[in-house]
Structure 1
């Protein structure tokens, strides 16, 4: 490694079985009260005994067992030093500045198969804001790998990491036009997860084919589950010998890492289910409710069509390789707020949260840009958030267009890089608009000019790519 909630009319019963291979397996039976359902096997689990993991990676890491430690811990009554997610024990991962990793490695998977994952993570409230570059918190590792070091995510698989105050999922798989492609999904901030159990549920089909998919939910403390990823397409590589294997714990990489030391992380409640398993059967704690399946107002993955969009102006808009692309930006259009505009046909009113992935096509210009448009009335009246490699009074901030005149109402300090994909979030609550890029707040502003309208994409004078639009 280089670097929403519904009542549930089921009850579950877990039976622990010991196989001839000495691995601890458990089978979960789920019985809906209203219908019959065949049982689904949990094919791998590590919930109490650390020795049931396929491997404990710490003693042979850089620095050895003195600098890397990994133990079962038991929570005593009134003792909050060692938190337990469920049951009687959890796992304690400890890495000092002379160490490298403290991880549990789980069962290997099969390319082409579908799996359900569930596990929990606890970052102690004593964690300071680390000054070093990263902590790896979970991995879907590949070994051996024929990728020959071409890893746009910086690793040989997908992983979760803490970078600065941001916790993200770095998803790496076969690209549409390249061997490897990386997408980063923001999951949470360090301040909001410290001192709380964070539960994860993932459903994925590991494949290099287009019928793959990956869904990821998170639950912080006593909150409801939130779906962070809903992806369709290749998730892995077909020329790997095996599917990825899951690792949870701490990975630092460099024994001379900066920042607070030693670093401590707790994990618990790992389960791996096969294709016949379910959300409930792998969800940590044994009583976590499945999301209620409420549909967002708008959800566009551009797997095959952009039929819900209307091109208002500009260059050629089309779906290509599962993304919505603007090509041949039309510079003959007068220099207005956005020369290129494509708008979703559904109108949104009141409070909303919009998320989308976007990138400006890299060119020799210093002004590569893209825009996220919202509360759109017509070409002369709307809001937009412009992201650019440079900054002037026409781009790189939050703007409102009234009677065809664009006015900047908030500015962004940090710039984008052409060719890099960013996750953008627009939060509208009352008259407050908040803009985030990769989970980092860029600006907030209050304005009540428009309180309803449509959403869409655009750019001032640049080609761009958009994907995974969701409005809730």
Structure 2
């Protein structure tokens, strides 16, 4: 795994020429999930086709991922999900059924009754600077199965940042869509094709894509980053992501936050892999391993609830 530079996120954001949130996405048109998208006035974010500076590939052949691949329902031959995923992960069974937990410790993931977005339970995820490594870095995450390549899916989920979620220039990824490399072709792990992260008191969304059959040295053909503005603390933030996964020009990505369209892209949005991406939620903070002095925090806590993954449009 490549070593992260301390100012990784800042350099990455500068590379794509980000300005303020209002310069990237003007939602004054009031577009909602059910509304007309052409009513939303927004500037088109710049696209970066140079090598991305955010390099966070997953370690290959880790025990947890081998466990995931061998678990019931995982279709290994051919290397993509054959069955359609229609998943509700609201933790209402007071358990983590349907999830793979990528955690180090007993405090890392727990079912809780407060706060909850719907029903009676949610998942509390905790990551401490002193936690041991999981898959080579600092993480406390939940993962679900991959969808089929070139499929169309909607992902709904809610995240709660508590009032003590303090400002930090060092980023953490709170949701990502990771993708298995085609290891039979010699391909190594790469940064996720989609990630939602916080840094500098804001939300950032990034999409990465590559039409080549093998992505070399974690350098995709292109990526795009959206500055989504300040995050709210002490309340739930509802996310809806609609994706037509494709490494070609027929791809589509649409993202709503609290009912407002905040990002949209027509064109490629993933890697040229045999299997489609898989959903992950929780906390991943690589600076605590690779450049700990860049971060001013020692613990992150978030809550996850109301997860739904289903084929088609919202």
CA distance in 2, matches of 1:267, 1:188: 20
Task: Please report the TM-score for the alignment, with normalisation by the length of structure 2.
Answer: 0.63
Say if 1:7 and 1:202 are closer, same or farther in 2 by CA, change over 3 A: closer
Supply the distance in 2 between the matched residues of 1:124 and 1:234 (Cα, whole angstroms).
Answer: 35
2:252 aligned residue: 213
Mapped to 2, the partners of 1:251 and 1:233 lie a distance apart of 27
In structure 2, relative to structure 1, the CA distance for the partners of 1:181 and 1:74 (3 Å cut) is same
Which residue in 2 is equivalent to 1:243?
Answer: 276
Partner of 1:163: 199
Q: Deviations over 1:57-96 (max 9, x none)?
A: 10xxxxx316x61011013xxxxxxx11110000100011
Mapping of residues 432-447 of structure 1, within 5 Å: none
Q: Distance in 1 between matches of 2:220 and 2:33?
A: 43
After TM superposition, give the deviation of residue 263 of structure 1 in Å. 1.1
Tell me, yes or no, if the aligned pair for 2:208 and 2:220 is still in contact at 8 Å: no
Which structure has more relative contact order (CA 8 Å, sep 6+)? It is 2
Pairing partner for 1:65 from 105, 130, 134: 105
More strand by share: 1
Number of equivalenced pairs: 222
- Quick one: which of 111, 119, 122 aligns to 1:90? 122
CA contact (8 A) 1:53 1:104 kept: no
**Alpha carbons of structure 1 residues 101 and 150: separation in structure 2 relative to 1, 3 Å:** closer
In proportion to residue count, which structure has more helix?
2
Contact 2:151 2:245 survives alignment (8 Å): yes
1:124 correspondence with 2:165:
no
Say if 1:44 and 1:107, in contact at 8 Å, map to a contact too.
no
User: For 1:208 and 1:175, how far apart are their aligned partners in 2?
Assistant: 5
Q: Using structure 1 for the length normalisation, give the TM-score.
A: 0.43
2:139 aligned partner: 101
Deviation at 1:230, TM superposition (A): 1.7
Larger Rg: 1 or 2? Answer: 1
Give the distance between the partners of 1:159 and 1:218, measured in 2 at CA.
Answer: 14
Which secondary structure does the structure 1 equivalent of 2:275 belong to? coil
1:186 partnered with 2:254: no
Query: For residues 93 and 145 of structure 1, do their structure 2 counterparts lie closer, same or farther at Cα, with a shift above 3 Å needed?
Result: farther
Deviations 1:164-221 (A, max 9, x none): 1221101111269x8431100122313xx111211011111111121111111001xx
Match of 1:113 in 2: 151
Structure 2 unpaired stretches of 5+: 5-29, 35-70, 74-83, 132-137, 213-218
- Alpha-carbon distance in 1 for matches of 2:187, 2:85: 34
Q: Per-residue deviation at 1:7?
A: 11
* 8 Å CA contact retained: 2:112, 2:123: yes
Whole-angstrom CA distance in 2 between matches of 1:65 and 1:255 = 16
Runs of 4+ in 1 over 4 A off after TM superposition: 5-8, 145-151
Quote the residue 1:43 is aligned against. 86
